[in-house]
Amino acid sequence: MKLHEYQSKDLLSKFGVKVPKGDVTTDPEQARQIAESLGGKVVVKAQVLMGGRGKAGGVKLFDNANDAAAFTKELIGKKLVSIQNPAGMIVEKVLVGELIDIAEEYYLSVLTDRATARVVVMISKEGGMEIEEVADKNPDAIVRLHVDPAWGLSDYELREAVQKARIPKPAQSQMVQMIKKLVKAYVEADADLIEINPCALTPDNVLIAADAKVSIDENALYRHKEYGETAEDSAEDPIEAEAARRGIAYVRLGGDIGIMGNGAGLVMCSLDEVNAAGGKPADFLDVGGGASADRVKSCVELVLMDPNVKGLLINIFGGITRGDEVAKGLLAAFDELNLTIPVVARIDGTAAEEGLAILKGSDKLVGASTMQEAAKKIVELAYA
């Protein structure tokens, strides 16, 4: 779960990371007051969870509170569009922060390296731009330091890495300290990403996190009720936010064929089959174990919140849950739902034949016995 910049900075400052002063608001008048309290020289930053925010016009520097307030007024309610997020996001809040005089911009991040199953720190002198761009054009400019799970990081390793990244002398020991705090925050807050870009060095040699992105591992949210409260407004998509409230694993994919199945692997296969049949999946949805009528209904409702959905594919493999029970669950759910779009349900596994026989009588669902057949059918029917 991605946290907003202001939430990320709050979290990191609790671990002793130096961040600019500032406050978040939805109101231009309040933005003026915050700016005045910071001496008028401020940066106003849209709090949207998207990459390329600065280039999209979401970050602007000011030398007086009036202009900061005027920009806030302009920004609130506006949709920002970037290369990373072509669909765009509406700005609801802005962060008004003290203006940092920046001499140099560096890049720091902490994440989990799946290949080594360790926490890795990435350090680069090339801050300010997207790290993917640096990785592309100048891969040697990124230094990676793996954290030993038993020993942690020792100062000498950190110093060596920072020097290898060619961070100038006056910033080196500050960066070593900052990385230690970031790693501590990463572990203790159960983060799955911390990114400081830029990590700014001021002309008088103070190292400060001018931007911050923290993402918390969703599976650990129960340990962090304080972040959980913001989970809903932090979700990037309103349907994904609703799915989080319902406890359903759902990812919106942007196409128009709704997809649900039991088990993540099976749903992934369904996406591939729909793609292969010439359709565009609208979502990933894992119904989870069993397929009670209530659960199915809640899942179907969720898929249909996406107005682009023209057809629905349901892919269920019966294991402990029998195919005939699944079919009954589907029929009960669809009895109560007034659908106007075609639905194809593939049932396989335990008691699949009995299940398909039950669906034969329905005018709301078309049965199928293989995934390929189901994918073909739903694409035909949806795009007819």
Q: Which residues are catalytic?
A: 107, 195
Residue type, position 369, single letter: S
Taking the C-alpha atoms of residue 242 and residue 249, their distance in angstroms, rounded to an integer, is 10
Between 229 and 268, how does the x/- string for binding to ligand GDP read (CB under 6 A)? ----------------------------------------
Q: Tell me if 240 sits within 8 A of 210, measured CB to CB.
A: no
In Å, how far are 138, 231, 232, 259, 372 from 245, measured between CA atoms? 42, 9, 8, 19, 32
Q: Does 131 bind ligand GDP (CB under 6 A)?
A: no
| Residue closer to ligand GDP (CB basis): 32 or 53 | 53
Q: Tell me if 101 sits within 8 A of 203, measured CB to CB.
A: yes
Q: Binding ligand GDP by CB under 6 A: which of 22, 28, 198, 318?
A: 198
| Residue whose token pair is 């128009």 | 256
Name which of ligand GDP, Mn ion, none residue 378 binds, using a CB cut-off of 5 to 8 Å depending on partner kind: none
Q: Measured from the CB of residue 73, what is the shortest distance to Mn ion in angstroms? A: 24
Identify any residues that bridge with 195 across adjacent strands, giving them in sequence order: 109, 213
Q: Within 52-81, which residues bind ligand GDP (CB under 6 A)?
A: 53-54, 59, 61
| Residue closer to ligand GDP (CB basis): 131 or 253 | 131
Backbone torsion region of residue 89, taken as left when φ is above 0, otherwise alpha when ψ lies between -120 and 50, otherwise beta:
beta
Name which of ligand GDP, Mn ion, none residue 61 binds, using a CB cut-off of 5 to 8 Å depending on partner kind: ligand GDP
Taking the C-alpha atoms of residue 69 and residue 29, their distance in angstroms, rounded to an integer, is 6
Q: Measured from the CB of residue 184, what is the shortest distance to Mn ion in angstroms? A: 22
Q: Does 256 bind Mn ion (CB under 5 A)?
A: no
Taking the C-alpha atoms of residue 312 and residue 309, their distance in angstroms, rounded to an integer, is 7
The residues of the shown chain that bind Mn ion, judged by CB under 5 A, are 197, 211
The residues of the shown chain that bind ligand GDP, judged by CB under 6 A, are 43, 45, 53-54, 59, 61, 99-100, 102, 105, 128, 197-198, 210-211
